[in-house]
Structures are given as structure tokens and as C-alpha cells.
Amino acid sequence: MEKENSGSFEYMGRSFSELSVNDDSSAFSDCNSDRSGEFQTASSQNRRLLLACAAENSDDLIRQLVSGLESCSIDEQKQAAMEIRLLAKNKPNDRLKIAKAGAIKPLISLILSSDSQLQEYGVTAILNLSLCDENKELIASSGAIKPLVRALKTGTSTAKENAACALLRLSQMEENKVAIGRSGAIPMLVNLLETGAFRGKKDAATALYSLCSVKENKIRAVQAGIMKPLVELMADFGSNMVDKSAFVLSLLITVPEAKTAVVEEAGIPVLVEIVEVGSQRQKEIAVSILLQICEDNLVFRAMVTREGAIPPLVALTQSGTNRAKQKAETLIDLLRQPRSGNAAVGRTSDVSG
């Protein structure tokens, strides 16, 4: 697996590895447990589960629920999966117990069900169990990745969102990133980014950001058409997705295919507008991306200049953070170079995501 390091390139003898945007933690929140409603009915089963959540020892209930997952009755399977989902959500200490009791494989089987509610409960239970780091390896090795990708394609909106979160959790193990990418997840995540509700877009962006630390997944994302939704979301300052989309783009832009694609999707005017009117963090990310777009392409430099980038870049050198000022100054120097064959002085010596 080829994993790329944080953004690093040189221009006129100046290294920018230490200037890469690294404050992404507040832009992306990890997927926590499912956000479904709890105990919507006062059934005896739900009262039993409520008591179990309050009890210290739920071992007997866990064994009963795992047995229920393998029932011949779909209704009993649904009830067992729902209760495991809620138990794993509300009792973190039981997540490992549930996995050790043998719940993982039957839950994965439910994800393949043609019954949409049963599939949704299976996906959500797997998500909640994946919140225990010790469970992630077992979930992946038990064959959960492809069924989760299927849920991304065929599931309810909730199943799709929770499948994206579950894949994010599994992708936090480096060895799973390539497997997830090769399973067909990335086109499905790009589709969720483009067509999902806000939570779906957010979860898809977060999963893609994790997966695209691997070069082959960056190329897959570009081939899947990720630039169109990324540019659209960056252009919509009311979307609450500008930062997330820009951080994903900052990872992708280190591959040549991404530079061409973002230009073709009219990304340069959007990036210049962010430099002009975005938040301080947004401005810095946008300048970082524009630097990498322009560093070895005269045509792209001319396009950036024609979009009126220099005045907001000059303003950024006077009012931005120290890191943003340095990047803006470097980009201004690059844009003001003579537009000749000798201008490609700032070719990347070491570009990585």
C-alpha cells in the first residue's frame, strides 16, 4: 500500500512541508454512535433492554440476542438487531462482550438482507460495535466491508449514512484503506457526498478524507467524479461544508489527475473567492491548493491571475496567519513570474498528500 505523507513541496529552495494545513481535526468530527431514536414504544422487549442498560451484568441478555439474530423469523431478527444496536450504543463496556458472543457474523448477514429495515438495523449495530477499537479488526476480517458498501448503494438514507460511518471507523486501521477502496466504496461515497442530506454529505466527506490518504484511493475518487460535488460545496458558504470539502480537496490535489479535474469543474474561481471572503482557515487551505495547482503549470497560473487572485492574496499577506502569509507571498511570486518556458522553476521535488 502506498500511503502518502502530509503535503510537502519546495519552491525556489523553500520547503513547505511544515506549512501544510494540519488543523483539520475541528473540521471533521468522528462518527459516533447512530443518532436513531430510542425506545419508541413501551414494548416488554424495550423495557427489558432499558433495564439491561441500567444493569451491571447483561451477559444473559447478550447471549439471547445473539441467538435471536439467527432466528428463522425476520421479526425476531429485527428485534434482536435493534436491541443489540441500542445496547452497543448505550453501554460502551458491552461492545466487546457482544462481539465476543458471536454477534458480528450474523449481523453482517443481516446487512445483505433484502428487507430494508433489517439491513438498516444490521448496519447500525455494526457501526455501534465498531466504536470499540478492539472490534474493528474482527469486523473487517469477518467480511463486513463489501456488505457495508452494498448498503451504501441500496440502503435507506439512514443505512447509507451509518454505513459511511462504519467504513470510516474501519478505515482508521491503515490496512483496511486499500481493501475499502478496492471494494467499490469510493464511488458510492462520492454519490452520497453529492446527493445525500447534510448528515450524509458530512459522513461521506469524513470517510473520503480518511480513505484518500492512500494514493490509489485519491485516483479512484477523481475518477468517480468527486470534483463536481467538492467544488459545488466549497462555493456554497451556507452549506457548512466548505472546510470539509476543502480539506478533502487538499488531499486529492497532490495527484495530477485532481489538478486537471478541479480546473475542468471551474474550481479556480471558487478557490479565489474563498481567498477573498472565506474564514482565515478557509483562506489558508485555498491558498495551499492554488499553490499546488499552479506550481508547475503556466496555463493554470494564467487562469488564477485572470480570476483576480493577486489583490486578495496581497491582502492575505497583511492580515493572515504567519503560515497563510508565507503561502500567499509564495503564490504571488509564482503568479508574477515571466510566462515563458523558463518559468517552471518551482517544479515539485517532493509532492505528497
**CATH number (domain holding residue 338):** 1.25.10.10
Among 39-53, 136-150, 283-297, where is mean pLDDT lowest? 39-53
Residues 199 and 232 grouped into a single domain: no
Among 50-59, 163-172, 223-232, 240-249, where is mean pLDDT lowest? 50-59
pLDDT tens profile 217-263: 999 999 999 999 999 999 999 999 999 999 999 999 999 999 999 99
DSSP secondary structure code for residue 3 in this structure = B
In a domain, residue 46? The reply is: no
Question: For residues 118 and 54, what is the distance between their CA atoms, to the nearest angstrom?
Answer: 26
Residues 159 and 233 grouped into a single domain: no
Non-local CB neighbours of 323 within 8 Å, separated by 6+ positions: 19, 284
In a domain, residue 33? The reply is: no
Average pLDDT of 299-313? Answer: 97
Dihedral (CA of 157, 163, 166, 172) sign = negative
Residues 103 and 217 grouped into a single domain: yes
Question: For residues 216 and 106, what is the distance between their CA atoms, to the nearest angstrom?
Answer: 32
Taking alpha carbons only, the member of 272, 199, 292 closest to residue 4 is 292
Q: What is the pLDDT of residue 102?
A: 98
Give the end of a domain, one of 225, 242, 262: 225
> Looking at the 3D structure of the chain, how many domains does it have?
2
In a domain, residue 44? The reply is: no
Helical segments of 132-238, H only: 133-141, 145-154, 157-171, 174-182, 185-195, 198-211, 215-223, 227-235
Give the end of a domain, one of 225, 245, 272: 225
Give the end of a domain, one of 198, 225, 252: 225
Residues 315 and 200 grouped into a single domain: no
Beta carbons of 215 and 4 less than 8 angstroms apart = yes
Among 10-14, 177-181, 191-195, 227-231, where is mean pLDDT lowest? 10-14
Question: For residues 205 and 233, what is the distance between their CA atoms, to the nearest angstrom?
Answer: 11
Question: For residues 120 and 156, what is the distance between their CA atoms, to the nearest angstrom?
Answer: 7
In a domain, residue 37? The reply is: no
Residues 123 and 161 grouped into a single domain: yes
Residues 167 and 198 grouped into a single domain: yes
Q: Which residue range(s) make up the domain with 286?
A: 1-19+227-353
Burial of 162 (0-12, 13-18, 19+ CB in 10 A): buried
In a domain, residue 30? The reply is: no
Q: What type of residue is 77?
A: Q
Q: What is the pLDDT of residue 18?
A: 37
DSSP secondary structure code for residue 340 in this structure = S
Question: For residues 281 and 206, what is the distance between their CA atoms, to the nearest angstrom?
Answer: 18
Residues 302 and 207 grouped into a single domain: no
pLDDT tens profile 202-211: 999 999 999 9
Question: For residues 259 and 269, what is the distance between their CA atoms, to the nearest angstrom?
Answer: 14
pLDDT tens profile 318-336: 998 899 999 999 999 999 9
Residues 84 and 209 grouped into a single domain: yes
**Residue 45 pLDDT grade (very low, low, confident, very high; cuts 50, 70, 90):** low
Residues 219 and 274 grouped into a single domain: no
Question: For residues 230 and 225, what is the distance between their CA atoms, to the nearest angstrom?
Answer: 9
In this structure, the number of other CB atoms found within 10 A of the CB of residue 273 comes to 18
Residues 186 and 303 grouped into a single domain: no
Beta carbons of 283 and 324 less than 8 angstroms apart = yes
Residues 221 and 240 grouped into a single domain: no
pTM for the structure as a whole: 0.85
In a domain, residue 27? The reply is: no
In a domain, residue 273? The reply is: yes
In a domain, residue 40? The reply is: no
Mean pLDDT, the chain, rounded, equals: 87
Q: What is the pLDDT of residue 320?
A: 82
Residues 62 and 78 grouped into a single domain: yes
Question: For residues 29 and 70, what is the distance between their CA atoms, to the nearest angstrom?
Answer: 34
Query: How would DSSP label each residue in 26-77?
Result: TT-PPP-S-------S--HHHHHHHHHHHSS--HHHHHHHHHHHT-S-HHHH
